[in-house]
Amino acid sequence: ASNPALSTQAGPVILPTGAPDASMVRVRGLAKAFGTNVVLSDVSLGVEAGSVTAMIGPSGAGKSTVLRCLNLLERPDSGLIQIGRHSIDVEKGILPANLAELRRSAGMVFQSFNLFPHMSVLRNVSLPQQRVLGRSRAEADEVSHRLLERMGLRDKSSQYPNRCSGGQQQRIAIARALALEPEVMLFDEPTSALDPEVGAEVLEVMRELASEGMTMVVVTHEMRFAANVSDQLVVMADGQIIECGDPHQIMSDPQHPRTQRFLKAVL
Ligand code: ADP
Ligand code: MG
């Protein structure tokens, strides 16, 4: 807003490449406390469009809370959140329309899948499209079939989730999120509840998504995925980002003692 070139004349504004607007996600000064427990303090983060950010750090560091604040499943105490064209300044208040737009622009995948147990796989993927995007059932089902096929789950559509393996359930959850055409996908330890082999199938789907240009933020303990797929590595501890940058650089030469300790434990 302080850039005079953006505020004066009408008409298209041509931004130099690499301008902040190339970022798909921007977070500034995010803070969150639960009662007296300060869980996030002054978290700032940028994620470029089409890039993958991996987020690591010890349990309780605040990783899930960052993701949950990003799509406002959790209400931050303060901070600025921008996803694509939508932004929210928490201190200025959150309008319901704003909230809905921001939520829509971020797809979320949880460790525990969170599928609707009483609905078929197809309905799991279709219903949110009808509710959130106003698609007809036929339209939604068509999109669902296409996505389930892509996830290698064509023959599962009429099953109930509990008849599917953990890896299949997670891929259904990914299909469900993708069906809403999010601008960014947020993954919170998507493979932590899975056996390594099954987790690998899910990681492969995520790797494909990344190669197709999906912007992703992935909280994970899979250091190989972080090293091979992510463009940016974010290390959190005690509610703060203690290190952020090139994944290989950080893994081979961590600067912060807490990063060093964490990497020693997981690598
Ligand atoms: P991580 O994902 O890095 O393990 P979390 O973001 O889940 O960390 O949690 C960070 C801190 O916030 C922890 O101390 C946790 O107990 C606390 N916390 C998270 N969610 C809640 C909540 N809904 N109510 C109270 N405390 C919470
Ligand atoms: Mg967590």
Q: What was the ipTM of the complex prediction? A: 0.98
Q: How confident is the model at residue 133 (pLDDT cuts 50, 70, 90)?
A: very high
Which of 34, 63, 66, 112 for a ligand 1 pocket mutation test, highest count of atoms within 8 Å of Cβ? 34
pTM, entire model: 0.91
pLDDT at 258: 96
Q: Which atom of ligand 1 is nearest to the CA of 66?
A: 6
What is the distance in A from the centroid of ligand 2 to the CA of 18?
Answer: 31
What are 150-167's pLDDT values in tens digits? Answer: 999 999 999 999 999 999
What is the distance in A from the centroid of ligand 2 to the CA of 64?
Answer: 4
Place of tokens 């998504």: 209
61 close to ligand 1 (CB < 6 Angstrom): yes
Give the Cα separation of 54 and 221 in Å (integer). Answer: 9
Q: How much is the mean pLDDT over the chain?
A: 91
List the alpha helices (DSSP H) in the chain: 4-7, 63-70, 96-105, 121-128, 137-150, 166-178, 196-211, 223-229, 247-252, 257-266
Ligand 1, atom 25, residue with closest C-alpha: 34
Going by their DSSP bridges, the two strands 78-83 and 23-34 should be labelled as: antiparallel
Ligand 1, atom 24, residue with closest C-alpha: 34
Percent of the chain with pLDDT over 90: 86
Q: How confident is the model at residue 7 (pLDDT cuts 50, 70, 90)?
A: very low
256 close to ligand 1 (CB < 6 Angstrom): no
Ligand nearest to the CA of 60: 1
Ligand nearest to the CA of 57: 1
What are 89-125's pLDDT values in tens digits? Answer: 999 988 888 888 899 999 999 999 999 999 999 999 9
| C-beta of residue 94 within 8 angstroms of C-beta of residue 40 | no
pLDDT at 36: 96
Q: How confident is the model at residue 52 (pLDDT cuts 50, 70, 90)?
A: very high
Give the Cα separation of 240 and 254 in Å (integer). Answer: 16
Q: Which atom of ligand 1 is nearest to the CA of 57?
A: 3
pLDDT at 176: 97
Instruction: Give the strand order in the sheet containing 52-56.
Output: 106-109, 184-188, 215-219, 52-56, 232-237, 240-245
pLDDT at 63: 98
Percent of the chain with pLDDT over 70: 92
Nearest one of 9, 79, 3, 6 to 39, comparing CA atoms: 79
What is the dihedral sign for C-alpha 17, 18, 23, 28? negative
Q: Which atom of ligand 1 is nearest to the CA of 61?
A: 3
What is the distance in A from the centroid of ligand 1 to the CA of 37?
Answer: 9
